[in-house]
Amino acid sequence: MNTATTLRIRRPLALAILVTLSGCGGGGGGGGGGGSSDGTPTLAQRIAAAQSVAQTSADCQQIRPFYWEIGDASGKLVSGSFAGPLLTIDADTVLPIASASKWIYGSYVVQSQAGVLSSQDVKFLNFRSGYTNFSVCGSTPADMTVSECLEREGRDGGTNGEYVPENDGFFVYSGGHMQKHASMNPTLADLDAAGLATEMRRVLGTDIAMSYSGPQLAGGVETSASDYALFLRKILGGTLSYERAALGTHPVCTDPDTCPQEAKFTPSPTGEQWHYSIGHWVEDDPKVGDGAFSSPGAFGFYPWIDASKSWYGVVARVSLVSDSDVSVAVDSVRCGREIRAAWLKPNTQ
């Protein structure tokens, strides 16, 4: 049984987003794995533990429908799909990934510059540049460019490209940093959404299918879990070797409660002290963090690579009905990291 439905979802201040929904999602995969005399978990143990958590965890049950998978540089090792009352999401469902786009742009910069970043690059990519008035590109014509998006009305009046001097040097989570950074790149400044996708794929891999709903670097990508997983596997396997080396580099404190002299706004989970690297988070809270690298999106898409750079994972979902975009992202993080913890240490579950 396999049905396909096309759903157009609308929300205020966003473009219409085309989402392909596939019925009757599949279960997990994987195979056997030999144990080790030093107590290293077998592949079968990891798979069973991750599947159990994905199925039974209260944090995971509340975010249904969603698709998840875990793998390594060689490919997917286990996956699952849990349907909701209206739809099912699978590996090939194309979704708006919101801020998971940031990891893609950060990797593009790192790869295209062979891992050599200027101090200015770093300041823009770990969100301390002062360009923090960005809202969205709005209902844009198809040929609007990266630079033209900056001319649209910003969050607090003015334009998307307005510099806020009092925020310069402080971590402020905003798409404006990346939009302004891209506008200063002659290769990117005059690209529309289609051209932007072509350029990202040229550097990151033409085998990765993605598009942009608008010329918005930090939040405009639409792709599937399988294609984002391919991107993560390229990092793990060294095809994107400069990005692999850059994971976790140039980290900055993001929690205003912990470091008010360094940070003003963060959407990370309340009470947790994460750091921000080059277009991605480092989940290194001293109490609950495991050092994973990630890029949660406001609609619930949550990709990650573990601290050892051995495994990747994706939680794919889309939720456009919450009063808080932050809560949608955090809900996916909580489910995803429980699955990750089960995978890494199945014997403790």
CB 210 within 8 A of CB 104: yes
Torsion of CA 215, 176, 178, 324, to 10 degrees: -80
Q: Per-residue confidence at 349, pLDDT binned at 50, 70, 90?
A: low
User: How many angstroms separate the CA atoms of 291 and 274, rounded?
Assistant: 9
Q: State the architecture of 4-348 in CATH terms.
A: 3-Layer(aba) Sandwich (3.40)
- Tokens 């019925």 sit at which residue? 23
Distances (CA, A) of 9 to 2, 303, 349: 22, 22, 38
Q: Per-residue confidence at 142, pLDDT binned at 50, 70, 90?
A: confident
Q: Give the model confidence (pLDDT) of 229-248 as tens digits.
A: 999 999 999 999 999 999 99
* pLDDT value, residue 61: 96
CB 274 within 8 A of CB 31: no
At 221, is the secondary structure helix, strand, or coil? Answer: strand
Q: Give the model confidence (pLDDT) of 203-228 as tens digits.
A: 999 999 999 999 999 999 999 999 99
What the block records as the tokens of 1 is 């049984």
Phi and psi angles of residue 223, each rounded to the nearest 5 degrees, phi first: -160, 180
Distances (CA, A) of 258 to 50, 210, 252, 271: 33, 37, 12, 9
- Residue ranges of domains in the chain: 4-348
Q: Give the model confidence (pLDDT) of 15-58 as tens digits.
A: 333 333 333 333 333 333 444 566 899 999 999 999 999 999 99
- Which of 28, 82, 29 lies closest to 60, judged by CA? 82
* pLDDT value, residue 86: 83
Where do the H-state alpha helices sit in 2-160?
43-56, 58-61, 101-112, 119-125, 146-149
